[in-house]
Structure 1
Amino acid sequence: MLLCLSVDHRNADLDLLERIERRTESVTTALSDTGIARGAVVLATCNRFEAYLDAPGLAPEEALDGLARAADLAPSELANACAVHRGDAVAEHLFAVSSGLESASVGEGEISGQVRRAIDAARASGRSSTELERLFQHAVVVSKQVKHRTGLQTQGRSLVQLALAMVDSRVGDWRAARILLIGTGAYAGASLAALRSRGAQLVSVYSPSGRAAGFADSHGIRAVAPETLDAELRSTDLVVACSSVNEPLLTRGRFDETVTEGSAPFCARFGRLETPEPPRARPRLLIDMGLPRNISPDVAGVAGVELLDLETIALHAPIPELGAELEARDIVRTAAAEFAAVRAERDAVPALRELRAFVDEILEEEVARRRGRAADGERAGEVEAALRHLAGRLLHRPTVRLRELGRGGRAADGIAAVSALFGDAPVGS
């Protein structure tokens, strides 16, 4: 049976998601234990953590307990924040996730790539399974259908695009803004593209893993060395952090109250202007797209620094046009129903194999007998072709019927019927 344990931005706060994602490797290892599941795929993004399990006979409660232990959480704490999907519902959920329908910013496009990378990682580590491969490959196909048929992903904005829109008035002239990008992964590439679409030109990149130079060369920007990071932060107008780290990279100790010339202050909640005051220095803007966090939350308490994190971004996520979303969800439901039907049809395969094996054995014996009797080789070939054609026609209707029984959830009836009729018959009699 397929199981999905889902903790996302709607059910859990950022702190809980962060605590789970810091232990992603231990969670993945624990859930991939062959005593628990035949396969496991973990999807960890900036606003969700999900474990997809191919685990016949595993009770959801056992899976939740395993996840809680691996993530060092109390089972009750996890149970309150974790949604459990099982059986056919897993496909519909993943198809919706991969299409951007469950994202904080509905229709965001990055999630489909994250879904692909999740199954790629599971395959590379030997943690996938045939059933999970089918599930995730189908999810990728559905996300493409939603994108091309509804235009939802062109109407919705990614989280980084939404964040940049929220600070647009604070940045002013994007061409003159000094921007530091932290991270070199897929999300960093998407962030750089979003920055350039707004006209940003003065972008540099820093990588805690040492990959800044390669990323900078391939994208035509400047790399920041570890020893110059603090100086870079002092001269930067905007920081966009999207690196994979277990602990915050930018802590309060890295910041002071020295800021550059600029405009009036802005509320830390990014919602309204404060009471007018005399002109003061322009604050440094920090956007933290990381989960776990790249920037310590207490940095927001430093005068002259404004921090925008995932929680705030999610609160401001727009609602896309209703028609596109409804059409997308209809595509997802239809695809999930077909996926479930195909899975059920495969349950009838054992009956088909037994029936075909019975007929094929009789056929081969009869073909061999006719060959031995025929004096004319050409005539023998015609007889063999006729026999094989006849066998195919005789098998067609029961094959179709067995597949129909499978789709209808009655594969067991078909297996029982074939076994009763042919299983004990003396083959070749």
Structure 2
Amino acid sequence: MLFCFTSSHRTAGFDLLDRLERGADAVTDAIREQQAVTGSVVLATCNRFEAYLDVDLDRLELRDHAAAELIDLVASAAEVPTDELRDGSQLIAGDAVATHLFSVSSGLESVVVGEGEIAGQVRRAYTSARKSGAVTHDLERLFQGASRTSRGVKNSTGLMTQGRSMVRLALDLAESRFADWSQVRVLLVGTGRYAAAALAALRERGVTDAAVWSRTGRAHAFSLSHGISAVPADGLTSAVASADLVITCTVSPGLVVTREIVSAAMADAEQRLLVVDLGLPRNVDPAVAEVERVELLDLETISLHAPLEELQATDSARELVGAAAAEFAAKTAEREVEPALLALRRHVFDQLEAEVARHASRDANGDIERALRHLVGVLLHTPSVKARELARDGDAAAFVEGVTAVFGVEPTATEPATRDGSVAESNVAEQGLETA
């Protein structure tokens, strides 16, 4: 059964997301050590932390309390108090997982609705898990469906092609601080996922004076490929002192721009300084905002100022996501009748082979065999279609029971004939699970 543990800007503060991001590797390792978890994909972005799990419920120690088990697992691995995590997260189960992921990958759940980076982040999370051998068949279907859906939303609605991003929103908020962008001196700290996007957005506004510093020594390569200057490894403080705008965008596990660095930089400086922290975990010490003439915009502040119109997804995009999720659920339901269909076909074809063998001595041209095989194909067509129709309507059990009653054959696979797989509705509701 598919589950999604999700903690995002909609359910948690950025402090909690920050700690989950820092514990991402530990959470991933802990999840993969669980016998009940047959597959997993962990997605960590600047405003969400999610784990998509394929769970064998029969292996859970507390089968009726799957939600509690999984939240405890994440809390322990990330070293976050269980009560805090429960209040700041959500556990989604069953068909609703597809609806959620398809919405996420299409940019409908982002701080800036329609932002284009998220589709790539989802794809990279899936690719990483696949290379590690952590992707099951159901997770493969799920993430392939998410990729198709996000492309469909982008191509059909243009929602993800309008330049929406956290970077652009941050610069929109900074607009009032600078009268002439061509005179603004910018320092990029880091060469991470937002650095190139930040530079492109700055140039669109007219910025020509930009430099980059990197704690990992990648500044020189980034500067050559993007046509800006590189700051020496020991030159961060002096570079901050010369800047009007500092944008941090690294994946460093610790603070990069500290209060001490900024205080030293501003000691002899006369200009005001705006620091924009796009890192998660955060790159900038919040105490930087206490330094005189310094203003800090971090992810939490930026998200609070997202304009209302950006938070409204287009109806057509929602409809596309809904249709894709419904088709995913229907295909999943169809799989529930496959064991019974296979048992029926095996039974019928065994009878066919026996009949063909009985007539072999007087069927030199194979006419009898061809006629019998055609007849069997015709006879099996209607039950096959009806089985899938019943499954899509949530009544797979009716077909399974019918095959057993009429033909006396039993499905050999152990897949359940009910949609949810096992968690009783009362327990699902008790644990706060969302189901389709």
TM beyond 0.5: yes
* 1:168-200: CA deviation from partner (whole Å, max 9, x where unpaired): 232333334322222323332322222222232
* Number of the residue aligned with 1:329: 318
Q: Could you tell me which of 180, 188, 192 is aligned with 1:181?
A: 188
Is 1:313 the counterpart of 2:294? The answer is no
Alignment CA distance shift 1:362-1:313 (3 Å): same
Range that drifts further, 61-70 or 303-312: 303-312
Alignment CA distance shift 1:258-1:211 (3 Å): closer
Distance 1:20 1:248 in 2: 15
Structure 2 gaps of 5+ residues are 61-65, 411-436
* Number of the residue aligned with 2:421: none
Residue 177 of structure 2: SS of its match in structure 1? helix
Is 1:413 the counterpart of 2:398? The answer is yes
Range that drifts further, 105-114 or 61-70: 105-114
User: When the two structures are aligned, how many residues end up with a matched partner?
Assistant: 403
Q: How far apart are residue 260 of structure 1 and its match?
A: 11
Distance 1:388 1:190 in 2: 61
Letter in 1 for 2:41: V
* 1:50-106: CA deviation from partner (whole Å, max 9, x where unpaired): 111111325111001111111112211111111121111111111111121211112
Distance 1:5 1:258 in 2: 42
* Number of the residue aligned with 1:303: 292
Residue 145 of structure 1: SS of its match in structure 2? helix
Letter in 2 for 1:411: A
* Number of the residue aligned with 1:81: 88
Letter in 2 for 1:41: V
Counterparts of residues 66-145 of structure 1 (less than 5 Å):
66-145=73-152
Distance 1:179 1:36 in 2: 50
Q: Is the 8 A contact 1:258 1:304 kept in 2?
A: no
* Number of the residue aligned with 2:413: none
* Number of the residue aligned with 1:355: 344
Structure 1 gaps of 5+ residues are 262-279
* 1:309-354: CA deviation from partner (whole Å, max 9, x where unpaired): 0111111101237885233222222222221111111111111111
Distance 1:85 1:23 in 2: 21
* Number of the residue aligned with 2:278: 289
Counterparts of residues 3-82 of structure 1 (less than 5 Å):
3-57=3-57, 58=60, 59-82=66-89
Residue 6 of structure 1: SS of its match in structure 2? strand
Alignment CA distance shift 1:34-1:68 (3 Å): closer
Q: Is the 8 A contact 1:151 1:324 kept in 2?
A: no
Q: How far apart are residue 420 of structure 1 and its match?
A: 3.6
Q: How far apart are residue 124 of structure 1 and its match?
A: 1.6
Alignment CA distance shift 1:224-1:368 (3 Å): farther
Residue 400 of structure 2: SS of its match in structure 1? helix
* Number of the residue aligned with 1:270: none
* Number of the residue aligned with 1:166: 173
Alignment CA distance shift 1:169-1:423 (3 Å): same
Letter in 2 for 1:120: T
Q: Is the 8 A contact 1:106 1:319 kept in 2?
A: no
* Number of the residue aligned with 1:400: 385
Range that drifts further, 138-147 or 410-419: 410-419
Residue 207 of structure 2: SS of its match in structure 1? coil
Letter in 2 for 1:285: L
TM-score by length of 1: 0.87
Is 1:373 the counterpart of 2:362? The answer is yes
Range that drifts further, 141-150 or 289-298: 141-150
Q: Is the 8 A contact 1:43 1:114 kept in 2?
A: yes
Is 1:206 the counterpart of 2:213? The answer is yes
Q: How far apart are residue 374 of structure 1 and its match?
A: 3.6
- Name which structure has the greater RCO, CA cutoff 8 Å, separation 6+: 2
Q: How far apart are residue 29 of structure 1 and its match?
A: 1.1
Letter in 2 for 1:48: R
Distance 2:322 2:409 in 1: 42
Distance 2:361 2:219 in 1: 75
Q: Is the 8 A contact 1:257 1:302 kept in 2?
A: no
Letter in 2 for 1:251: T
Range that drifts further, 126-135 or 289-298: 126-135
Letter in 1 for 2:224: D
Letter in 1 for 2:314: E
Distance 2:78 2:5 in 1: 13
Q: Is the 8 A contact 1:2 1:56 kept in 2?
A: no
Q: Is the 8 A contact 1:9 1:47 kept in 2?
A: yes
Q: Is the 8 A contact 1:348 1:403 kept in 2?
A: yes
Alignment CA distance shift 1:282-1:345 (3 Å): same
Q: Percent identity?
A: 52
Distance 1:303 1:106 in 2: 34
Q: Is the 8 A contact 2:114 2:313 kept in 1?
A: no
Q: How far apart are residue 208 of structure 1 and its match?
A: 2.4
Alignment CA distance shift 1:36-1:204 (3 Å): farther
Range that drifts further, 181-190 or 246-255: 181-190
Q: How far apart are residue 384 of structure 1 and its match?
A: 3.8
Q: How far apart are residue 152 of structure 1 and its match?
A: 2.6
Letter in 2 for 1:348: V
Distance 1:258 1:246 in 2: 23
Distance 2:371 2:213 in 1: 72
RMSD: 2.4
